[in-house]
Amino acid sequence: MSRASAAAIREGLERSHWNATDLWRATLGIGGAFSTWEVEGLASGQRESTEIEHDILASALNDHFADEGSHHPVPYWSDLPPVF
């Protein structure tokens, strides 16, 4: 699942025109406790995410998209496609 997680977070970053620092700031706003290097590692797939870590990052991105008047394009862990 970590490859699917990293791909979903990377796609969310691209769609939002954010970088890892922007996502890190947004996660702080919703109670996340990541460092910028952890966000970079999770988004790049260099570090495997847990379900909770992925959902915090997805939530921060989806909050941004909701503020922009969009739906929630970043899937939560339970909605990630299986990767074989």
**Taking Cα atoms as reference points, which of 56, 59, 42 lies closest to residue 2?**
42
Sign of the torsion angle spanned by Cα atoms 12, 49, 5, 79: negative
- Cβ contacts of residue 40 below 8 Å, gap of 6+? 20, 46
Q: What whole-number distance in Å separates Cα of residue 21 and Cα of residue 66? A: 19
Q: Name the pTM for this structure.
A: 0.92
Per-residue pLDDT tens digits of the chain, which is 84 residues long: 678 999 999 999 999 999 999 999 999 999 999 999 999 999 999 999 999 999 999 999 999 999 998 888 999 999 998 866
CA 77 vs CA 41, 68, 71: distances in Å = 17, 22, 17
**Taking Cα atoms as reference points, which of 15, 16, 4, 7 lies closest to residue 84?**
4
